[in-house]
Amino acid sequence: MTTRPVPALPDGVTVAELERLCVAFAAEAGRFIRDERPPRMGVSATKSSETDVVTVMDRRSEELLHALIQQARPDDGILGEEGADVAGTSGLTWVVDPIDGTVNYLYEVPAYAVSVAVVVGDPHAQGGWSPVAGAVADPSLRVVHHAGRGTGAWTSPEDPSDDRSPVRLSVSAEERLGRTLLATGFGYAAHVRARQAQVMLRVLPLVRDIRRIGSAALDLVRVAEGSVDAYAESGLNAWDLAAGWLIVEEAGGVVVGEDRDSAPGKILTVAAGHALVEQVRTLFVSGDDTAEDTAQEDSDEE
């Protein structure tokens, strides 16, 4: 488990309570996007108007999250992917991604998520914030992955009445780069993809294999549960990684940016166990400026 200390919280607020709320809110939004998904949405449906149905569901999910947060924690701030930010006075900010993996959601690929986290500091500033509680709901599997600073990382049933016990998460113990199953992602812009392809030419021969899942939040969860050994990607925003970052650390892993002392973010995010993280980070920064260029673009997971 991480040894990072719990940041100071407002009087009367506990990590356990924030984690409980993250789980409840992520689960409710996850059920919403799964159960209320328009029938026969399809790719062609996005061509019918300027506001396509995926965007509608994104916004409706974020509206739901805003309502839940403001009812429970009216003094907290909110930062979300759809841009309806709320300024708070408590020193806590909720960072939400209403649908992470929207392309998967559009195509009905069962790898999309809702990410909800509570952070201290300014989530608009690179390196200026830290998550204290977070949850990633996986509606397709009907589970929620969650963590609080100092409470460990867990996977729990989406339905609180489900009698299955939570499962504690732990990162892979893999130490050798050549045996590493590496998750990654790619940007939308053609020139960014071309440069990322060049990085893959260098990386692929040095690892066991590559996985491109299509959701940054779920990629981070998979590192935490050990179903992939490591993850690296450029172009992530706070809402893509806030909950997953904490879940990885509470599962015993490390999450860094473009150098070993920097926070994860747009330039680069690398997550792995202690033995692998520096090896993987080096792969993505050695002899190439792709990370810097890709940081100017939004990732596919947004």
Question: Residue 130 domain-assigned?
Answer: yes
pLDDT of residue 189: 75
256 shares a domain with 280: yes
Phi, psi of 207 (to 5 degrees): -125, 170
Of 168, 188, 208, which residue sits at a domain end?
Answer: 168
160 shares a domain with 37: yes
pLDDT of residue 292: 46
pLDDT of residue 190: 81
206 shares a domain with 110: no
CA 172 to chain centre: 18
Q: Return d(Cα 290, Cα 237) in angstroms, integer.
A: 17
pLDDT of residue 40: 65
Is the Cα dihedral 40, 45, 46, 49 positive or negative? negative
pTM exceeds 0.85, yes or no: yes
CATH code (residue 221) = 3.40.190.80
Residue 126 exposed, middle or buried by CB count within 10 Å (0-12, 13-18, 19+)? middle
Q: Are 294 and 195 in contact (CB under 8 A)?
A: yes
Listed residue (245, 247, 229, 218) closest to 152, CA to CA: 247
pLDDT of residue 192: 78
Q: Are 288 and 199 in contact (CB under 8 A)?
A: yes
200: tokens are: 């893959």
pLDDT of residue 295: 46
Q: Return d(Cα 103, Cα 275) in angstroms, integer.
A: 33
91: tokens are: 């020193």
Is the Cα dihedral 17, 88, 244, 83 positive or negative? positive
Of 125, 145, 168, which residue sits at a domain end?
Answer: 168
85 shares a domain with 202: no
Q: Return d(Cα 190, Cα 210) in angstroms, integer.
A: 20
pLDDT of residue 51: 46
CA 112 to chain centre: 11
CA 158 to chain centre: 18
Question: The domain containing residue 187 runs over which residues?
Answer: 177-294
Q: Return d(Cα 50, Cα 36) in angstroms, integer.
A: 21
Question: Residue 9 domain-assigned?
Answer: no
241 shares a domain with 152: no
Q: Return d(Cα 249, Cα 272) in angstroms, integer.
A: 9
Question: Residue 273 domain-assigned?
Answer: yes
Q: Are 174 and 180 in contact (CB under 8 A)?
A: yes
Question: Residue 34 CB: number of other CB atoms within 10 A?
Answer: 18
105 shares a domain with 151: yes
CA dihedral angle for residue 15, residue 17, residue 23, residue 27, rounded to 10 degrees:
-160
In tens digits, the chain (302 residues) has pLDDT values of 345 777 788 888 999 999 999 999 999 999 999 999 887 665 555 544 544 557 788 889 999 999 999 999 999 999 987 777 888 899 999 999 999 998 899 888 999 999 999 999 999 888 889 999 999 999 999 999 999 999 999 999 999 889 889 999 999 999 999 999 999 998 777 887 888 888 899 999 999 999 999 999 999 999 999 999 999 999 899 999 999 999 999 999 999 999 888 999 989 999 999 999 999 999 998 754 444 454 444 444 44
164 shares a domain with 27: yes
